[in-house]
Amino acid sequence: MALFFHIPDQIRTLLIAGITVVTLLGIMFRPWKTNEAQIALAGAALLLILGLITPQKALVTLLNDWNTFFFFLGMMSISALAEVAGLFDWLAFQAARYSGHSPRRLFLNTFLLGTLISMFLSNDATALILTPIVYTLVTRLRLPILPFLFACTFIADTASFLLPVSNPINIIVSSRFPLDLWTFLRLLFLPSLLVIGVNIGIFFLLYRKQLSGQFELKRLPSAEESITHKAYFRYVCGALIVICIAYIMAAASQFPLSLVALGGALILLLGALAWKQITVPALGKQLSWSIFGFIAGMFIVVQSLESTGLTTQFGALLLHLSGGTPFGAVIVGTLGSALGTNLINNVPMAVVLTSSLQSIQHTPVTVQHGFIAATIFGCDLGPNLTTVGSLATVLWLLILRQRDLDVSGWDYFKIGIITTPIMLIVGALAIWLLL
């Protein structure tokens, strides 16, 4: 429409804002069980059809964010190829083996293993791959399942700001606001350790009774059973060590992490193909392609919104609320992003916030760093607050609960509401002190 005739700026702004709001509401409520990618792409398509963003501008936006797309591709491939080798099953078995038959030590080991996996292979690997493995393990050991399940799903997010590669959100934010490795570690590594400690402490307190007694390791099949091919398993272990070192070196030298992830995935794929452990189509089936559609749609929608100046105004509002102080920046950034991730998904929230934070570039470095670190922190940890990182689902759970219906998500919601605010406060204060 706007391609063919001129429309006043105010109408254009209203149209873009309306489409953005409808898209975000759609992601929030997902009517008719539509998936998020379809909604985001529909929003982007509508903007393109109405000429509110030009195809060239949309294309440039997507090309500029190649680092994010490639990182998602590399990260998912590495996890999938490591899973094929049985690495995660083997690690979980070792966690049980070194627990000395104590459920409490196994619980601690689950946290430590989740931390290690999230740190180098991202929160997705912990939440999506480690969780079902731990579920299988504790089922066989006849231990209470929920504490271990929650340990995995929580630590996936709690440990996801130890390194830039620990969460794709970190890549989205740092693509716009590059932080050198030292600054990233200085602002987020120690808070992350603190928050992990708080997470473990609260969970031990809540589940202390359920974790009493002993378990029998002989209930588990041997560790060797999880390894499908010994040579490929060793190859994967070696390759992952190299990839982890490469990640740190790349982050230190500001080399694109996505290229390391893709390179690592390629190395693993070559090994998997050589030992006939997977085929390319089989690997393709294990990746979630809809994520790319979702991110692409969101990037285009937010780019359109950015062109109206609304995100700049939102950034100015955040800056105003922070009072222009580092403390305010950390608190406003953390609360804003944590609440936002629970209104919508954390990916669109990170995209909206990074766009909005363009307006902080003239502020002192401490304020800038405060906002950036708090955005990463809030978007990474925020999803732990509610069942699926969405207030819409929580409202639904509350309604079901009022009707005395049993809702499994209620347990997760309770634990999130107890644990996450404490972690957010501790982490935000730590970031502020380290600025």
Partner 1 sequence: MRVLCCLDGDNLQQIQSAMTPFVQANDLTVGLIYVVDNGPRDEMARKRDQLLRPLRHAPARETRIEAAEIAVAQDILFEGKQVFAGAELLQKTGRPEREIVNTAAEWDADLLLICPRNPRHASSAPGPKSVGHVARFVLDHAPCPVLLVRQKNREMFPLKRAPSRPLHEL
Provide the mask over 34-73, with x wherever binding to partner 1 is found by CB under 8 A and - wherever it is not. Answer: -xxx------------------------------------
Q: Single out the segment in contact with partner 1 by CB under 8 A; choices: 10-18, 30-38, 90-98, 243-251.
A: 30-38
Which residue from 55, 34, 35, 33 is spatially nearest to 44, judged by alpha carbons? 55
66 contact partners, CB below 8 Å, separation of at least 6: 258
Near partner 1 by CB under 8 A: residue from 29, 135, 189, 204 = 135
**Footprint of partner 1 on 408-427 (CB under 8 A):** 408-409, 411-412
Site for partner 1 in 340-359 (CB under 8 A): 345, 347
* DSSP secondary structure letters along 347-403: HHHHHHHHHHGGGGTTS-HHHHHHHHHHHHHHHHHGGGSSTTS-HHHHHHHHHHHHT
The H-or-E segment that residue 406 falls in is none
The least CB distance from residue 152 to partner 1, in Å, is 9
Q: Are the C-beta atoms of residues 252 and 165 closer than 8 Å to each other?
A: no
23: contact with partner 1 by CB under 8 A: no
Residue 390 makes contact with partner 1 by CB under 8 A: yes
Q: In the complex, what is the shortest distance from the CB of residue 137 to partner 1, in angstroms, rounded to a whole number?
A: 8
Q: Are 214 and 99 in contact (CB under 8 A)?
A: no
Closest by alpha carbon to 199, among 91, 285, 110?
Answer: 110
Regarding 388 and contact with partner 1 (CB under 8 A), the answer is yes
State both tokens at 235: 């190859």
> Counting contacts by CB under 8 A, is residue 79 touching partner 1?
no
Q: How many CA atoms lie within 13 A of 22 on its CB side?
A: 14
Size of the site for partner 1 (CB under 8 A): 42
Q: How far is the CB of 107 from partner 1 (least distance, A)?
A: 13
Q: Which ranges of 190-229 does DSSP label H, i.e. alpha helix?
A: 190-207, 223-226
> Among residues 38, 102, 210, 312, which is the contact residue for partner 1, using CB under 8 A?
210
At closest approach, how far in Å is the CB of 196 from partner 1?
A: 18
Name which position in 144, 197, 256, 421 contacts partner 1 (CB under 8 A).
144
With CB under 8 A as the contact rule, the residue among 212, 214, 254, 279 that binds partner 1 is: 212
Cα-Cα-Cα-Cα dihedral of 112, 84, 145, 163, to 10°? 30
Region for 179 from its dihedrals, namely left if φ exceeds 0, alpha if ψ lies in -120 to 50, beta otherwise:
beta
Q: Which residues bind to partner 1, rule: CB under 8 A?
A: 35-37, 124, 127-128, 131-132, 135-137, 139-140, 142, 144-146, 149-150, 153, 156, 209-210, 212-213, 286, 288, 290-291, 294, 345, 347, 383, 387-390, 406, 408-409, 411-412
